[in-house]
Structure 1
Amino acid sequence: MIVALSGGIGGAKLALGLARVLPPEELLVVANTGDDFEHYGLTICPDIDTLTYTLAGLDNPVLGWGRADESWAFMDTLAGLGGADWFRLGDRDLALHVLRTHRLRMGESLSAITDDVRRRLGIGPRILPMSDDPVRTRIRSDAGWIDFQDWFVRQRAAPVVRAVEFAGAAAARPQPEALAALGAGPRAVVICPSNPFISIEPILAVPGMRDAILASGAPVVAVSPIIAGQAVKGPTAKMFAELGVAPSAAAVAARYAGLLAGYVMEEGDDAEGIAPRVVRARTLMTTLEDKVALARMVLATADALR
């Protein structure tokens, strides 16, 4: 079993590569839910949905989020009625949010709903939320605390980041099947190339998750989301800079201090000061072949460390 920790776009790319080289029963993706929020009464799970659409082959490769076969009549009508349209919900995507919200209110767990959707869309590997309890990422700027999606989408990540917190994490329970997979001695734990602050650290903030990874005995291998000091997509580099750290592959590795056995980073980037074993690779994933090649490299790195 490979247990992969993932956020949205970057993590989903590597998850797809792993899904193409592993039997479906040998891959479990633990998804960040710190980005989840309620919008117009609906429970939105951006990272789970990006992983689901990507592994189902339904993702929009241009935007990196949402579905490729999307239409926007709902949003156009909503805007015409004076509604807030800063968070775009496509017509097909909307069906998933409505169904998820209804089933949650009927008492089903987020894990059960996510797994049922996965099976209905023909996805082999498991996708599980980090917890069935709500955890919400918040950003502190000069104007105070801001809910993550407000900061990231509505304000386009413009406010300066002074701190990050995960509201509800202290009381959250780790997803039991994820803990069981870690306890069974997985082949490796893979930290996908996702933003450490807002995609991976919320997972690690759930009580028991970090300890379970350490106790698993599996090599932990991370892939850097930073290439030449810049993030491929998203606010990772901006967040590092605003928190007083020069954005680099080394800075990402330092966020995972004490966890990593191996670290896969872009060819040519500076590896000075990185404690785990460094492996150089092409980490920019623009084609399916890139995703598969990087997945094979990550697995080979993990196997060499066992």
Structure 2
Amino acid sequence: MTSLRVVVLAGGVGGAKFTLGVRAALARAQAPEATVVVNTGDDLWLSGVRLQPDIDSVLYALAGQNDTVRGWGRTGDTERVNAELQAWGAGWPWFTLGDLDLGTHLARTGWLREGLSVSQVVERLSQRWPLGAHLVPMTDTEVDTHVVTDAGRMHFQEWWTRHRATIAPRAFENPGIEAAVPAPGVLEAIAAADLVLLAPSNPVVSIGPILAVPGIREAVQAAKRVVGVSGIIGGKVVRGMADVCLTAIGVETRSDAVAAHYGARAEGGLLDAWVMAEEDAALAPAVQGCGIHPVVAPLWMNDAAASEGVAQAALDA
């Protein structure tokens, strides 16, 4: 039995799939459950309820309740309440709330209004199903992501879901994040971890906000070992519009460029090693040149076994 202690920084569908793989790999090794620090920059208020898309994506995936066809929400969900909201002209007509999903949002909102913190709410939500991992939000502070464009400022979800990232972004901001503090247990988990993993999540709007919470980047830099996993395969994003986000901050959509964006820990960055796709093996010397150890492995997470294989490559790194 191994006592390997692992912390994963994650967000989005890629982070959820990777977390499933980490859970399986650690269970096979009889290691302790991983702590998963989840992005809350995607959060928003809509129709009077608090939504936490990344928290829910990881929660539903670990619970086996996620809709793997759509890639978001609960499996087998219906949309009767959403249709009624739209009939009243409430909410956003381009942002669908499933009935089961809305039940989660209502429960969350009620607990928040009763005075529970975001961390306490996540802990309560996690008790419904055996997750095999410990979920914690990056912070209890509301630090929603805003997108600055030439057409004005909008919430990230409007830019992402309504406009499908077709409006060129000038910057991504999390108002109030400078005053935010890591959620209880986050810094302690990172300090105690033998390995911190950066999931193949969007580096800008999923991993970026986590690292922007004061104290978390410094904690990761001080960790025993840090390994990142590329969400770029063959010069293309696996899912979503991360390429648009990367372009906005001056980073090319290439695996080696994202590795350089995170930087080598020996040079003030974050990474000791970088797991990159077989399709990008030719870029391994460039990653090595950044002072980061490259690990080439299959990265397509098309099923549970493949996700576990990606996680195992990261653990082995």
TM-score range, shorter chain: over 0.9
Give, in whole Å, the separation in 2 of the partners of 1:240 and 1:182. Answer: 26
Alignment correspondent of 1:141? 149
Answer yes or no: is the 8 Å Cα contact 2:33–2:132 preserved in 1.
Answer: no
- Sequence identity of aligned pairs in percent? 41
Matched, 1:2 2:6: yes
For 1:145-160, what aligned pairs fall within 5 Å after superposition? 145-160=153-168
What is the match of residue 105 of structure 2?
Answer: 97
Flag as ranges the 4+ runs of structure 1 deviating above 6 A.
none
Q: Does 1:228 align with 2:234?
A: yes
Q: 2:306 aligns with which of 286, 290, 297?
A: 290
TM-score (norm 1): 0.94
CA distance in 1, matches of 2:87, 2:132: 40
Q: Secondary structure at the match of 1:145?
A: strand
- In 2, Cα distance between equivalents of 1:34 and 1:242: 17
CA distance, structure 2, for counterparts of residue 86 and residue 162 of structure 1: 23
Contact 2:123/2:136, CA 8 A, preserved across alignment:
yes
Counterpart for residue 304 of structure 1? none
Which of 162, 174, 184 is the aligned partner of 1:176?
184
CA distance in structure 2 between the partners assigned to 1:176 and 1:103 by the alignment: 18
How far does residue 183 in structure 1 lie from its aligned partner after superposition? Answer: 2.1
Q: 1:273 aligns with which of 286, 309, 316?
A: 286
CA distance in 2 between counterparts of 1:63 and 1:95 reads 19
Give the root-mean-square deviation of aligned CA atoms. Answer: 1.3
Matched, 1:238 2:244: yes
Note if contact 1:25-1:124 (Cα within 8 Å) is conserved in structure 2: no
Residue pair 1:161, 1:243 contacting (<8 A) in 2 also: no
Query: How many pairs align?
Result: 299
Distance 2:83 2:108 in 1: 23
Unaligned 5+ segments in structure 1 are 302-306
2:24 equivalent to 1:20: yes
Query: Which residue of 12, 34, 46 corresponds with 1:39?
Result: 46
1:193 correspondence with 2:193: no
Residue 60 in structure 1 maps to residue 67 in structure 2? yes
Q: For residue 203 of structure 1, what is the amino acid of its counterpart? A: I
Q: Partner residue of 1:115? A: 123
Could you list the runs of 5+ residues in structure 2 that have no partner in the other structure?
A: 264-268
Q: Any conservation in 2 of the 1:284–1:290 contact (CA below 8 Å)?
A: yes
TM-score by length of 2: 0.91
**Match of residue 266 from structure 2:** none
Does the aligned pair in 2 maintain the 1:66–1:90 contact within 8 Å? yes
Distance 1:215 1:245, change over 3 A: closer
Query: Counterpart of 1:300 in structure 2: which amino acid?
Result: D
Cα shift at 1:79: 2.2
